[in-house]
Structure 1
Amino acid sequence: MGNRQSRPWIVSDELWSLVEPLLPKPGPKKAEGRPRVPDRQALCGILFVLHTGIQWEYLPQELGFGSGMTCWRRLAAWNEAGVWDQLHQLLLNELRSKGRLDWERAVIDSSHIRAARRGPKADPAPGDRARPGSKHHLIVDGQGIPLAVSLTGGNRNDVTQLKPLLDKIPAVAGRVGRPRRRPDALLADRGYDHHKHRRLLWQRGIRPVIARRGEPHGTGLGIFRYVVERTIAWLHGFRRLRIRWERRDDIHEAFLGLATCLITHRHVQRLC
């Protein structure tokens, strides 16, 4: 166990048993050459970059990961195939089957990160000397288990992601009856305070619990909203997510989706 904790990029047998069936099958090789790097080793390389924040070109090949370009290509291909979305749904299904998802309330929030360069979804952020940045938007259940995440430019208003995040919550099965994809209530800070958004939530059968503009901080929601702030801290515990190095937004979104799966998987492991 200590070896796993000191080397978190090692893919456990249990995690690999979930990931492997979701991976797209490789096509035939177009030419003779080096043998294909096994997918499990490539995933270890991707996790090494995610955990350490190292640049792809410096990925230590002596650890058996393959080249940084190989791992980069696998990450892009797996993200395009929807692997992380499928894995996240499987994990949520498992949590719901054990009654471990708290649907009584969900919490929404976002966090700004600096981007190394401008690019898609990496805009100059107001109030940050016009330096490029992005935002991680997140909605979690009442315990802080991630239900949906998204990436936008740093200058996007938080409330623009309210509807997209709600739409992105998967239909979570795991119990007899219809899958579930909406909480009973949604908690949010004053940045979401507008009658239009409250009406949207009521129309979906979700009770809005949104801080009012003009009210001082610490007027009631903090005791419940801390769970989303904690989950954002968990996300940024992966060093590759603290600064956006990727110019391509799909690669950063792939890291974000993978990190979301790893956090959700930790909650599943606690069931064992």
Structure 2
Amino acid sequence: MPPWIVTDELWARVEPLLPVRRQRPDRRGRPALDDRRCLQGILFVLHTGIQWEWLPQELGFGSGMTCWRRLRDWNAAGVWDRLHQLLLTELHQAGQLDWSRAVVDGSHRRAVRGGPKTGPSPVDRARPGSKHHVITDAHGTPLAVTATGGNRHDVTQLLPLLDAIPRIRGRTGRPRHRPKQVYADRGYDYDKYRRLLWRRGIKPVIARRGVAHGSGLGVVRWVVERTNAWIHGFRRLRIRYEIRDDIHEALLKLACCVITYRRVCRLC
């Protein structure tokens, strides 16, 4: 089955989260395209990297701009955030989220058309780019993701990532949203942020700069590197083509939802 096909199981989770579209009182104009088809068109763009205007209508997706507008509206309504929280809740209730530690990392992507949340990249000859910052649990499940300009330091997103983790309800007790430890590489080696993590009740495990390689954290941190590879396995996210940052972030959040949903499917 092609990866952009929306299964009945996935649609049962997505459909209740979508905002209700208002119809014109006089019912004039063409009927609105089915939401499920639009979601399949969005996933087709995300997986293949095709331009919106080239979306093949013969596959039943509708026009590319219709799918683009649905992506914009659904992101503004918080659909992807709520879907991600729903999927994480299913994993947590099944005991498949490991809160003993979280792993954080950032990766750079070139932005060929510029736009908000881009900046001269220090690793790409000052070409405009964006950074994807992700925090995962001990298994590599993405808990939260953010996007910034390519010239932003990774450590600036450490606390925003922790704040972006949704509160996940389990069977009993308070909702979980805070890991016990945070693992990070040398780019996060600042005593200020270590103190801030301790104040939140989180133990920082961060490699020190200026020491020989081989800190041993790689045996834990590899899961976030794998998650970054999964995210950029979606061709639309390998290079940033969207000028609007909200559209780019919507695709980034949707990719995290797809990755999390794959883990949920393993429970069946």
Q: TM-score, normalised by structure 1?
A: 0.96
Three-state SS of the structure 1 residue aligned to 2:213 is coil
The amino acid of 2:20's aligned partner reads K
1:18 counterpart residue number = 13
1:216 counterpart residue number = 212
The amino acid of 1:24's aligned partner reads P
2:190 counterpart residue number = 194
Three-state SS of the structure 2 residue aligned to 1:257 is helix
Output one character per residue of 1:107-163: Cα deviation in whole Å (capped at 9) or x when no partner.
Answer: 000000011122101111124222110000000000000000000000000000011
1:95 counterpart residue number = 91
1:54 counterpart residue number = 50
The amino acid of 1:169's aligned partner reads I
Q: CA deviation at 1:247?
A: 0.2
The amino acid of 1:177's aligned partner reads G
> Does 1:27 pair with 2:22?
yes
Q: CA deviation at 1:63?
A: 0.5
Three-state SS of the structure 2 residue aligned to 1:244 is coil
Q: Point out 4+ residue stretches in structure 1 off by more than 6 angstroms.
A: none
After TM superposition, list the pairs within 5 Å mapping 1:168-187 onto structure 2.
168-187=164-183
1:260 counterpart residue number = 256
Q: Provide the rounded CA distance (Å) in 2 between the counterparts of 1:107 and 1:184.
A: 11
Indicate the larger mover: 33-42 or 23-32: 23-32
Q: Provide the rounded CA distance (Å) in 1 between the counterparts of 2:34 and 2:24.
A: 14
Q: Provide the rounded CA distance (Å) in 2 between the counterparts of 1:94 and 1:8.
A: 21
Q: Provide the rounded CA distance (Å) in 1 between the counterparts of 2:36 and 2:200.
A: 41
Q: Provide the rounded CA distance (Å) in 1 between the counterparts of 2:24 and 2:250.
A: 25
Indicate the larger mover: 231-240 or 210-219: 210-219
Q: Provide the rounded CA distance (Å) in 2 between the counterparts of 1:195 and 1:149.
A: 23
1:142 counterpart residue number = 138
Output one character per residue of 1:94-116: Cα deviation in whole Å (capped at 9) or x when no partner.
Answer: 11101110011100000000111
Q: CA deviation at 1:166?
A: 0.5
The amino acid of 2:32's aligned partner reads R
Q: Provide the rounded CA distance (Å) in 2 between the counterparts of 1:29 and 1:224.
A: 55
Percent identity of equivalent pairs: 70
Q: Which runs of 5+ in 2 are unaligned?
A: none
Q: CA deviation at 1:32?
A: 2.0
After TM superposition, list the pairs within 5 Å mapping 1:144-163 onto structure 2.
144-163=140-159
2:226 counterpart residue number = 230
Paired positions, count: 267
Q: Provide the rounded CA distance (Å) in 2 between the counterparts of 1:80 and 1:183.
A: 28
